[in-house]
Amino acid sequence: MSPILVISVISIYFLVLMGISYFTSRENDNLTFFTANRQSPWYLVAFGMIGASLSGVTFISVPGEVGNTAFAYFQVVLGYLVGYFVIATVLLPLYYRLNLISIYTYLEQRFGKYSYKSGAFFFLLSRIIGSAFRLFLVAGVLQLAIFDAFGWPFSVTVAITIALIWLYTFRGGIKTIVWTDTLQTLFMIVAVAISIYLIKDALDMSWLQLTEKVSASGYSEIFVWDWQSGQNFFKQFISGAFIAIVMTGLDQDMMQKNLTCRSLKDAQKNMFWFCIILVIVNFMFLSMGALLYIYAGEMNIAIPARTDDLYPLLALEHFPLIAGVVFLLGIIAAAYSSADSALTALTTSFCVDFLSLGQDDKPISKKTRIKVHLAFSVILFLVILAFKAINDQSVITAVFKAAGYTYGPILGLFTFGLITKFQLKDKWVPLIAVLAPILSFIINENSEAWFFGYRFGFEILVVNGLLTFLGLFLIKKNKIELVGQ
């Protein structure tokens, strides 16, 4: 694809997003930015959350990983269903009952100021690292597809990438995000559907023949029962449940969308349908991954050394032009649908959790909110440039994985608050929240030597949360008293 065509596609795409931003931000106030006045249709929220829950990494990596682990990732997806059930039946009723803007306000009502600030801080840290990494990947794609041809430096690419997000989110906030995420999710699903159809057409098979081909290929194997395998069913399933609880139910970014629904009942309907759609979409990604390998084999196309490169290679160099266009739209939509909502959530959390805007009769200043929104845009810009300066894929991947450790303290805090009646010696909570991830990292690094060859995967998050919970138990107050419940 020529740089001019790529620019044209992206320009049209963002003009549409800017149009949505204009129509959704008219006659808005600051409360609209944070909560969309709790008037979002639940079905739009459910559909749009698909795009936000996935990312550019998922868009490329899940299909590519099929060549290594077949459909084993689907075990994690099945685990998500348990996590979303907990969110719908336990967490959402709590958030709606307390009428929260930031979900971490619950920690203040339950334990105190230090617990509250600890939870909010770890969310900010997680989202800054995660969002910066996702945007780093997208900026790299844009650099290769467009800006290298014009000799523009990477820093300009990053600045343009973030500026585009800022422009269509700074007015309407979460109200705009609900609508833009819906559009971006649609682009993602269309990209996958068209890719599957083009492969079917190229192989000259019926849908039944295509299904039988995938089934016979060995790529469609889902369940792994070997306990030493990183893809063991129980490890993957349990990890999936906790990942869903933490990265959706205890994440301001994802919950902020749910809290824009008109009522708890609507939010629960949103979560139910979101589960169904997410399972279907992930199965589509996995099916496409199997078909990509089958197509490459039938056409004698060499599989790239990095499996992540397979989908981009086929879409941009071997499929018809339309496939390249929809792939480009899909990868941008996947990255931006998670990054734009993250920027809004970061702004919301900092304004509410650290500036206390909207609390204790403090008005929510539009001027302050815009400054915070801009400040986080600059922070993301600087972190992305730091990733570029490191210029070591293994180090960058390690940093991205390390962000998962920051969810452990949040999991431990909320779990302790929900299933016990103890109060805490609040000023000691930040120390526990820092020590738990450090101990989890040490355990993870030495697990093979200490646990007879056992290697932790996603389940290190559970260990992290458990260590936080045990640490909180050690600093509990002897007298049981409930605050804010």
pLDDT of 416 over the 80 cut: yes
Of 129-143, 266-280, 440-454, the one with minimum mean pLDDT is 129-143
Q: What is the pLDDT of residue 57?
A: 64
The band of 320, judged by pLDDT with boundaries at 50, 70 and 90, is confident
Q: Which of 159, 155, 156, 181 is nearest to 40 (CA)?
A: 181
Query: How far apart, in whole angstroms, are the C-alpha atoms of residue 28 and residue 371?
Result: 17
More confident residue, 107 or 65: 107
Please count the CA atoms within 13 angstroms of the CA of 461 that sit on its side-chain side: 23
Whether 296 and 216 have beta carbons less than 8 Å apart is answered as no
Residue 237: pLDDT band by 50, 70, 90 thresholds?
very high
Helices 310-317 & 264-298, crossing angle to 10 degrees? 70
- Phi, psi at residue 111, to the nearest 5°? -120, -40
Average pLDDT of the segment spanning 163-177: 69
Q: How far is CA 290 from CA 64, 220, 302, in A?
A: 9, 7, 15
pLDDT, residue 322, reads: 82
C-alpha span between 451 and 130 (Å, rounded): 30
Least confident of 78-87, 199-208, 254-263, 353-362: 353-362
- Eight-state DSSP code of residue 245: I
DSSP secondary structure letters along 218-278: STT------TTSTT-HHHHHHHHHHHHIIIIIT-HHHHHHHTTBSSHHHHHHHHHHHHHHH
Q: What phi, psi does 305 have (nearest 5°)?
A: -60, -40
The two tokens of residue 304 are 């790239």
The predicted structure's pLDDT at residue 483: 46
- The stretch 231-253 carries a mean pLDDT of 86
- The confidence score (pLDDT) of residue 429 equals 96
Q: Which of 440, 406, 428 is nearest to 473 (CA)?
A: 428
- Is pLDDT at 482 greater than 70 in this prediction? no
Task: State residue 37's pLDDT score.
Answer: 59
- pLDDT of amino acid 338: 64
pLDDT at 397 over 80: no
Rounded Cα gap, residues 117 and 108, in angstroms: 8
Look up residue 187 and give its amino acid: F
Query: What is the per-residue pLDDT for 477?
Result: 86
- Predicted confidence (pLDDT) at residue 84 exceeds the cutoff of 80: yes
Task: State the Cα angle at 398 between 396 and 403, rounded to 5°.
Answer: 100
Position 484 scores a pLDDT of 45
| Bigger pLDDT: 48 vs 295 | 295
At 478 the pLDDT is 73
Element (H, E) at 295: helix 264-298
- What's the rounded mean pLDDT across residues 96-116? 91
pTM reported for the whole predicted model: 0.79
**What are the φ/ψ torsions at residue 89 (nearest 5 degrees)?**
-100, -20
Q: Percentage of the chain surpassing pLDDT 90?
A: 23
CB 127 within 8 A of CB 346: yes
Which residue in this structure is represented by tokens 């804010």?
A: 484
Residue 36 has pLDDT above 60, yes or no: no
Q: What is the pLDDT of residue 398?
A: 57
Which amino acid type is present at position 328? L
Cβ neighbour number for residue 477 with a 10 Å cutoff:
11
Q: What percent of the chain has pLDDT over 70?
A: 85
Mean pLDDT of 307-323: 81
Q: Looking at residue 184, what is its pLDDT? A: 75
| Mean pLDDT computed over every residue of the chain | 82
353-386 pLDDT tens trace: 888 776 655 556 678 878 888 898 899 899 888 8
What is residue 485's predicted lDDT score, i.e. its pLDDT? 43
Residue positions counted in the chain: 485
Indicate the pLDDT class of residue 391, thresholds 50, 70 and 90: low
Tell me which residue of 58, 62, 3, 127 sits closest to 333, measured CA to CA. Answer: 58
**41 or 392, which is more confident:** 41
pLDDT the model gives residue 308: 74
pLDDT of 422 reads 93
Q: What is the pLDDT of residues 332-355, one digit of tens each?
A: 776 666 666 777 778 888 888 888
